[in-house]
Amino acid sequence: MGSLSQVVYLSSSTDLLGEPELQQLLIDARERNQDLEISGLLLYADGNFMQVLEGPRQNVETLMSDIENDPRHHGILVLLDQVIEHREFPDWSMALFNVSEKDAEGFSDFFRGDSSVHQQYILSGKAKKLLMSFRDHLNRSSV
């Protein structure tokens, strides 16, 4: 296998999604991600997404291209695009966490303010920390 890549991005949904739409999105993502050897985590709150994708570089690039051309969301902002040695989410073809208002502290901050390059670099560190906290939370609750 070639080098592994990790991409973290933000986007906004064109429509608010309810639980049935989110579950279908998760089913579709897991099937496609399994075929592409991609793992990751998808956070959703009030029409906004934050997602981490990990896998073979070419497969992640293919998926990101599809995501960028998907009319169901807009305002895509890539926070992190890096080569990694190991996956942060190795066992998850895709985990979905629908963030409630009480869980959203820190999450909604990503959708406010300036999206300049400087801000993007600042957010990438915060995004990584937030994603890892959700991963750890999900791991603890599945034990």
- What is the per-residue pLDDT across 91-106, written as a single tens digit (0 to 9) for each? 888 878 787 655 545 4
pLDDT over threshold 80, residue 116 = no
Which of 29-33, 109-113, 117-121, 126-130 is the most confident on average?
29-33
Per-residue model confidence (pLDDT) at position 128: 64
* Beta-bridge partner residues of 45: 48
111 close to 77: Cβ distance less than 8 angstroms: no
Closest residue by Cα to residue 43 from 72, 17, 5, 80: 17
pLDDT at residue 47, as a whole number: 87
Q: For position 7, what pLDDT does the model report?
A: 94
- Residues near 16 by beta carbon (within 8 Å), at least 6 away in sequence: 46, 47
Stretch 104-115: mean pLDDT, rounded? 47
- Cα-trace Rg, the chain: 14
Q: What is the pLDDT of residues 6-25, one digit of tens each?
A: 999 989 899 998 889 989 98
Topology (CATH) of 4-141: Alpha-Beta Plaits (3.30.70)
Helix (H) / strand (E) containing 124: helix 117-141
Domain boundaries, the chain: 4-141
How, if at all, do strands 48-56 and 73-84 pair? unpaired
